[in-house]
Amino acid sequence: MAEFESASESREARTEAVRALEAEFGELLTRIRRLIAENAERVSPGMLPGAYKVFTTIVRRESITLSCLAESLTADKGQVSRTVRELEELGLITRTPDPDDGRSSLLSPTPDGIRRLAVAREPHDNALLDTLQEWSVQDIRTLARLLHSLTTGESP
């Protein structure tokens, strides 16, 4: 009987811990959404967070086709295409012919787009570094490793 209670208690403790983690992730996501909305507004007044995500994905990948972009964002190709047109009109990205496939284009950030993104991110550039200032480098690495394990579904 004691073994069953111990297993039950352990399950309850695990469930409680997971719920606390879920709540903290919820708070973190809210903070990230706010940051993305603020950055989007600084890149271009009225820019929606979804367009910012498309733009930053293009910047991160440096050069990407529309199909690969939609796939990486797990988004509808038509919606991504409309957003890409908006980003082009804003002068944030450009299309060039794909040398490997004449039927498609490569999407790349413009120098002005990269500059505007850097300016938008500047107010928060050191926020995470400042927040983790008192953490040991080993704790930061451990958190990164654990988050990677959680993201990929791998055991730490």
Q: What is the pLDDT of residues 75-122, one digit of tens each?
A: 999 999 999 999 999 999 999 988 887 788 899 999 999 999 999 999
- For 124-152, the pLDDT digits (tens) are 888 888 888 999 999 999 999 999 998 88
Judged by DSSP in three states, 65 sits in strand
pTM of the model as a whole? 0.76
Tokens of residue 90, six digits:
């804003």
Residue with tokens 């498309």: 54
- Dihedral sign, Cα of residue 17, residue 153, residue 55, residue 78: negative
